Amino acid sequence: MEIYLVTSNKNKLREFEEILGFKLKRVDLELDEIQAVEVEKVVEHKTRQAFEMIKKPVITEDTGLHFEAWNGLPGALAKWFDKSIGYGKLCQLLGENRRAKAKTVVGYFNGKDYKEFIGEISGIIAPEAKGTTNFGWDIIFIPEGYQKTFAEMTFKEKNKISMRKIALEKFREFCKI
């Protein structure tokens, strides 16, 4: 069975295939991205819309960063917070309770059954942005048990513990059924 990963990012395709252990087809689609704190809502909308466009089994993915002190904000809206005030300013605004959860949701739809696979890890928000990366909030998230942000880690280090890996491993198990 062919499964289509909806992304414009060729590196994401490589990362998905490495974790899953099987090939995917990549398709770049212009999807409406709804604005919601809940990553699950964003992913389900994207996944169903992608299926309607290509009529083939699809997976989509999105992530969110949820601050405990802000009742789960910014969630899936993290990139919009970055565009308006920047991640550095977000660090300053947070206050004493810096606990956060990083969540990835992978959605799969074959035209009949919608399934989602969630990977989540706990951590804290750094006092300031650190590291270099092209992956958004990696510069401010320090996973539990570590002393550095995702952006300060090597690609391999991050992928051993990432929420994306957890979600994709759940999807891989589902595909074995």
CA angle 43, 32, 86 (to 5 degrees): 80
User: What number of CA atoms fall less than 13 Å from residue 176's CA on the CB side?
Assistant: 8
Is residue 62 part of the annotated active site? The answer reads yes
Active-site annotation holder among 28, 32, 62, 113: 62
C-alpha to C-alpha distances, 106 to 16, 46, 120, 135, 151, nearest whole angstrom: 11, 10, 12, 17, 22
At 84, which helix (H) or strand (E)?
A: helix 78-85
Tell me the residue length of the chain.
177
**Bridge-partner residues for 27, per DSSP?**
6
- Which active-site residues does the annotation give? 62
